[in-house]
Amino acid sequence: MSLTTRTSGAGRGSSLRRRFLRKSTALFLFVAFCAFAFAQEPSSPSADAVSKITANILHEGKAYEYDEHLADDIGPRLTGSANYEKAVEWSMEQFRRLGLENVHAESFPLKAVWEPETNAIGRMIAPHEQTLHLISLGWAPSTPEGGIRGKVELIRNLLTPDSLEQDRERIRGNIALVDRSSLSFPNGLMPGQYFAALSALKQYGAVAVLVGGGRSPNDAEYAGAATADGSIAALPIVRVGFEDLQLLSRLLKKGSVTIEFSYRNRIRKPASANNVVAEIRGREHPEEFVLVGAHLDSVHAGTGAQDNGTGVASLLDTARAIRASGIVPRRTIRFVLFGGEEEWELGSKAYASQHEAELDRCTAMLTTDTGSDTTFGWYINGREDEVAALQEMAPLLKPLGADGISQDATFLLHSDHTSFYLHGVPTLMLWTEMAKYFQFVHQPGDTFDKVDKDKLAKSVAVVAATAFLIADRPAPFAKRQSPAEVEETLKKIKQYDGYLDMKQYGTLK
């Protein structure tokens, strides 16, 4: 029985104690096993350092506390918002306190800062009255004073502005409903093209857009920004709850449906936000660096405890443990906390282009943005040339259960490593179990209570060990690819169409 379903006080206490004992015994055995496994390796300065650093993280790690502060004390961190800037100040203060060098903020431009001012409220008026579960998409404009009232019309093919032609008469003056049946992308949804088609609904005279999605029971899942470049969308766009959508679809088959809704969002433009940078300078080649990234921003539903509070906490605790070891790696480890990730990686795109001139000296970019559940290893996204170096490190990652190398490239274009990858920099994305993450991500449930302290500590140990080993190895981790090689790899891993989509509709330069 899980603790959350237990109600009796006494039972709960003893269950907690049993769980604590089980967990501490498991942790003790795990640490002992690590010490044993590391001891079996031919001892090298790097292996000894990693053993010291990971033991510190597993015994005295602070990632759980860092994440608690971000999620509970600061809260949702929409890029450029007051909470976000509070997180910028707080994380710089932590890095300084840990004795890191070169701690500073770097500004990047934003087309707009967006925050919800009121929740969306709405109801169906005809064929009968009924409350609807709605939430505004990010970077969508407010509804006009007095709200929006209109007939709902299902869009039959939202592929390109031309594909809307068949629905021209139905769209004018009405609320366009976009559900799964409206989407016919041949190679999976292309976000840039999708947003461009959504915005074309305005030219066809739609007054607002209703997007289906979410989960039972009537969750209207927040799905990030409604544009691919940080601009404000052309029309008010709301997401409708799961069961509400099914109801509207059934009723539309029988006749006409009218709804009304309203919400207000606060928009400030143009604007800017900050990425946060901190370094542990290398002892032999301080000009060469391993970049370790996570995103400081979150969406507004939930408090971003897993997406990406645990990532930020991992970076802070990696910095803490390496500093505490007193060991300095050959190359610099540069920590960067990015903003704007939830608006399609605006902060990391800006950072990669602002720092293009020094990317030849970036031996690897590591990102952690998949939560902190059981960690298996790293995604290499088709960079087979990284395998040899990772295999060398495997004996040190194996005791953490994280010597795996995944060929799955699904997330390549969806986090802060993307821009570095496209600039040819060798990248790694943390590979973790994600079932629980997907249950709560971008929803009100992405909160601190879902974070498992021991699993988080292990995932921090994987990030720290990998970053240190790459920074400390005599030879560079892998080479920088030419633009032609990047394109070739993208084609091989079937991500080329997504890349072209980003290039055409997003902010990719």
Alpha helix segments (H runs only) across 310-426:
310-325, 346-354, 387-397, 417-422
| Residue nearer to Zn ion on the CB measure, 81 or 308 | 308
Buried b (16+ CB within 10 A) or exposed e, 300-319: bbbbbbbbbbbbbbbbbbbb
| Residue nearer to Zn ion on the CB measure, 133 or 349 | 349
Number of residues this chain uses to bind Zn ion (CB under 5 A): 3
Phi, psi dihedral angles at 243 (to 5 degrees): -70, -35
Region binding Zn ion by CB under 5 A among candidate stretches 46-54, 140-148, 195-203, 366-374: 366-374
| Residue nearer to Zn ion on the CB measure, 332 or 375 | 375
Q: Look up residue 418 and give its two tokens.
A: 């993307």
Listed residue (429, 436, 387, 391) closest to 409, CA to CA: 429
| Helix, strand or coil, per DSSP, at residue 339 | coil
| Helix, strand or coil, per DSSP, at residue 366 | strand
Q: Look up residue 449 and give its two tokens.
A: 């209570």
| Residue nearer to Zn ion on the CB measure, 307 or 472 | 307
Listed residue (207, 263, 213, 205) closest to 235, CA to CA: 207
CB of 429 to Zn ion, least distance (A): 11
Region binding Zn ion by CB under 5 A among candidate stretches 142-150, 164-172, 261-269, 367-375: 367-375
CB of 200 to Zn ion, least distance (A): 28
| Residue nearer to Zn ion on the CB measure, 103 or 294 | 294
Q: Is 369 in the site for Zn ion (CB under 5 A)?
A: yes
Region binding Zn ion by CB under 5 A among candidate stretches 301-309, 397-405, 442-450, 461-469: 301-309
* Torsion over CA: 484, 485, 487, 491 (sign): positive
> Judged by CB under 5 A, which of 143, 227, 274, 308 binds Zn ion?
308
> Judged by CB under 5 A, which of 67, 229, 297, 307 binds Zn ion?
307
C-alpha span between 2 and 413 (Å, rounded): 36
Q: Look up residue 41 and give its two tokens.
A: 């390796």
Region binding Zn ion by CB under 5 A among candidate stretches 1-9, 170-178, 306-314, 459-467: 306-314
Q: Is 297 in the site for Zn ion (CB under 5 A)?
A: no
C-alpha span between 138 and 446 (Å, rounded): 17
Region binding Zn ion by CB under 5 A among candidate stretches 154-162, 304-312, 460-468, 494-502: 304-312
| Residue nearer to Zn ion on the CB measure, 343 or 369 | 369
Region binding Zn ion by CB under 5 A among candidate stretches 168-176, 283-291, 317-325, 361-369: 361-369
CB of 361 to Zn ion, least distance (A): 27
| Residue nearer to Zn ion on the CB measure, 262 or 303 | 303
| Residue nearer to Zn ion on the CB measure, 136 or 370 | 370
C-alpha span between 370 and 440 (Å, rounded): 12
The site for Zn ion (CB under 5 A) is made up of 307-308, 369
